[in-house]
Structure 1
């Protein structure tokens, strides 16, 4: 199992220890009556949010010692893409679900606001606010499962339909396609995390292409995402860091924001600008600054108009990612066998029940089956092809994905309104 799944969610971590809290375990939530056996293997758990959810419930004991023990034989500078993680360190969901939750689990419909902006500057502000909303509270500890090749995740939230597919296993590449607001918003992502071990810390960057398109306005926004920094010593911590750009070539506008690292002393004291973001909106050609950005991604981010001095709230984290709702199964028969919540259902169920041996065995069965299928393809000379995306690699080594369909259909799993 690749550590890529853990990099970004040694942030989303901490869940492998399970919990007996009723609000935490939301397995096989069936919204309508019918043949529940059709989705009996599906296990859905709460998304990460500012309040409640997995983050509030899961605090494993002796976590630091357990994590440090994993890296005792790993050299600094090592690529952790193929690092093997025991099942007891897993969060009860797949990395595909994590990516998807950043899009479909939101308290506000920020995507529709992107399409409804009165002018290009207003739309860039909305796209930037939405981009910040995909940043979720990191938790030091465990990680989600590394998706198997061909694994999918399909969820709807109102008019937003989201489909993900694991289009490559080595290197791990995940593709996302989402459409919303009657086709006025379209997302196409191709992501490949690259984690590196630096002795006292792990830092993971995401390579690939992320686009948000507004067809009615003829605009395409290219978006970066911050790196995830996991400190092991001198005191354990995990945070987002690095520079992020949101660029629209058609309007000639772009935004630059920095996710600031906290300042810590050798003994781990201090804190400084933890979760702070600073940046600006500017005109690409002239580099003229239009607005200044300042705030905290887990609280509020403010925007100052340079010409007028007017200050407004760009992003309110409490409204956007506070008290998020857990997805439920709406159409039992429509849940695919390749669905993440089904593929890893037995593993997640075991983790939530703290049945570690059953979890270990179930996880091994999933991974052994994936290896068996890969071996059979190799013996037959078959080349695996994604079902929902085309996949290619550019001259500079970047992976590129494109959906085979223009829009994403409604999903059998939904986020209740």
Structure 2
């Protein structure tokens, strides 16, 4: 516990990110008889149902918010992929580096547990070296998260706007993630637009979690494109198969000429093959990039905003870590009930909630779009290691 400027005790709970090697301790947060509990949890849910409003009991939660998981995919890495993107000598080399960076944001997920659904206005503000990252929950129903990150030294800017839509399909749950990710290499005048894969949870016959779907990465200015397919094949009854596969190609959209073929596994290595000469090289090694990652640390507790994820959910996270499930349930209920009270108060005054850090719009044609209100993100009181 630390004291803020008003001398009130403030808890800030930060945990290790999901990482390779099993050192994130995600298994330690799971309740016993997990599969049986999951089947019981969804016994009255109809196949095809949207789970966006579905409230999970704390025993099914990781001790962190979805905002933190999104942020960790950007700032929790052992290698500086963004600098490599900026320092590529040619447009093609920079696109290949962007492909490697995009794959680095794909992180292991734990079966049977999920992060908290962020509350409206919740934020997550972290710095990693010269990169400052800010996330805000700009909509609650539907859930929409905005991310803005800037590195003034490298002159890089990142803007995301994402809406996860989890659906139940009887024997599985698939969380489709809608929205765009933009990476701007301002020194080169290049903007890369991309989406991200979907997360699939298999409940039966064999429980598991996989990233699936197609990711398209395009540089608007050069016309260079990468198409990546995330796949997991399963043999009879769900055993065996080839998991965490990434296959794709890099091409010039103006000529449709395939310049490189992409092949590998996002949890191992990704290679590219030059179609002009057959040369193969590794562009991404997951063990070097996302192994042994550590939790962020608090540099300046008094400067942590009240809306910070690690503070908003601190009582819930602390109880989950200690496996005090009743205390966790009560703490989670308190957070959610406070949000209902604020909603009723706004409705009584005919007020509309406005995000603090982003300008947000929605159209049927383009979906949700989020623009940061400030040109750069300030240094954060929480530091990624």
- Alignment check: 8 A CA contact 1:95 1:145 kept: yes
Residue aligning to 2:140: 169
> Secondary structure, in 3 states, of the residue corresponding to 1:270?
coil
Deviations 1:174-199 (A, max 9, x none): 00000115251111000000111111
Matched, 1:44 2:33: no
3-state SS of the aligned residue for 1:53?
Answer: coil
Q: Give 1:269's aligned residue.
A: 239
Q: Does structure 2 retain, via aligned residues, the 8 Å contact 1:38–1:333?
A: no
Does residue 307 of the first structure (1) align with residue 276 of the second (2)? yes
Which residue number corresponds to residue 300 of structure 2? 331
Matches of 2:88 and 2:249 in 1, distance apart? 19
SS of structure 2 residue aligned to 1:44: coil
- Please say if residues 148 and 377 of structure 2, whose CA atoms lie closer than 8 Å, have aligned partners that are also in contact: yes
> 1:79 offset after TM fit, Å?
1.0
Q: Would you say how many aligned residue pairs link Structure 1 and Structure 2?
A: 384
SS of 1:349's equivalent in the other structure is helix
Deviations, residues 339-392 of structure 1 (Å, cap 9, x unaligned): 000000001011111111111111111000011011101101111100000000
| Inter-partner Cα distance in structure 1 for 2:6 and 2:344 | 34
Deviations 1:238-290 (A, max 9, x none): 1011111111121110101111122231x33222x201111110011221000
Contact kept? 1:196, 1:202, Cα under 8 Å: yes
Q: How much does 1:61 deviate?
A: 2.7
In the alignment, the residues of structure 1 paired with residue 8 and residue 268 of structure 2 have an alpha-carbon distance, to the nearest angstrom, of: 41
CA contact (8 A) 2:262 2:273 kept: yes
List alignment gaps of at least 5 residues for structure 2.
none
1:8-51 alpha-carbon deviations (Å, 9 max, x no partner): xxxxxxxxxxxxxxxxxxxx7x9xx9999777411000001112
Give me the whole-angstrom Cα distance separating, in 2, the residues matched to 1:409 and 1:229: 35
How large is the RMSD of aligned CA atoms in angstroms? 1.8
Matched, 1:390 2:359: yes
Distance in 1, Cα, partners of 2:129 & 2:6: 23
1:126 corresponds to which residue? 97
The secondary structure found in structure 1 opposite 2:187 is helix
| CA positional deviation for 1:234 | 1.3
Q: Distance in 1 between matches of 2:350 and 2:154?
A: 39
Which residue of the partner structure matches residue 92 of structure 1? 63
User: How many angstroms apart in 2 are the aligned matches of 1:300 and 1:178?
Assistant: 26
Q: Distance in 2 between matches of 1:38 and 1:394?
A: 43
Aligned to 1:256: 227
Moved more, 89-98 or 35-44: 35-44
For 1:400, which of 362, 369, 383 is the aligned residue? 369
> What is the DSSP-based 3-state SS (H/G/I as helix, E as strand, rest coil) of the residue aligned with 1:233?
coil
So what's the TM-score if we normalise by structure 1? 0.89
User: CA, structure 1 residues 38+287, in 2 after alignment: closer, same or farther (shift >3 Å)?
Assistant: farther
Q: Is the CA contact (8 Å cut-off) linking 1:293 and 1:304 kept in structure 2?
A: yes
TM-score (norm 2): 0.96
Aligned match of 1:413: 382
